[in-house]
Amino acid sequence: MGEAVVKMTQQYIAGELSLRLGQLQALATDEERAREVGRLRHEAERVPRAELRSVVVRALGLADRLCWDSLSCGDASAFGRQAAIGADLWEFGICACLFEEDFEF
């Protein structure tokens, strides 16, 4: 039973990350950024748990770039939604024990 629980936990974490990446993808500022998030989402659904840290770190960097894109266009509403998802990704990474709270990307 222990192995099944571990596998379920890994699937749950990957699924939760994929959900958050889908939310970020919906707020992409252009097609290229949407494809970048889509690639991360695809990766999150397939890599071992040990590699999810890298996916979250790259997603945080992409969320940051999306926020800057929105700010440069003067779109405060999009910025707010993107920043909220970025904060959620950060919290998810901490709660899923993918990195420590004092981690800097």
pLDDT tens for residues 58-75? 999 999 999 999 999 999
Buried b (16+ CB within 10 A) or exposed e, 42-52: ebbeeeebeeb
Say what the pLDDT of residue 4 is: 59
What pLDDT is stored for residue 100 in this prediction?
A: 73
Q: Are 94 and 102 in contact (CB under 8 A)?
A: no
pLDDT of residue 57: 96
pLDDT at position 101 over 80: no
Lowest mean pLDDT among 4-8, 24-28, 35-39, 90-94: 4-8
Examine the pLDDT at 3 and tell me if it is beyond 90: no
Total-model pTM = 0.87
pLDDT of 27-61, one tens digit each?
Answer: 998 999 999 999 999 999 999 988 999 999 999 99
Task: Kindly state the percentage of the chain with pLDDT values over 70.
Answer: 89
Please answer whether residues 27 and 81 qualify as being in contact, where contact means their C-beta atoms are separated by less than 8 angstroms. yes
Q: Distance between CA atoms of 57 and 43, rounded to whole angstroms?
A: 13
Are 105 and 89 contacting, i.e. CB atoms less than 8 angstroms apart? no
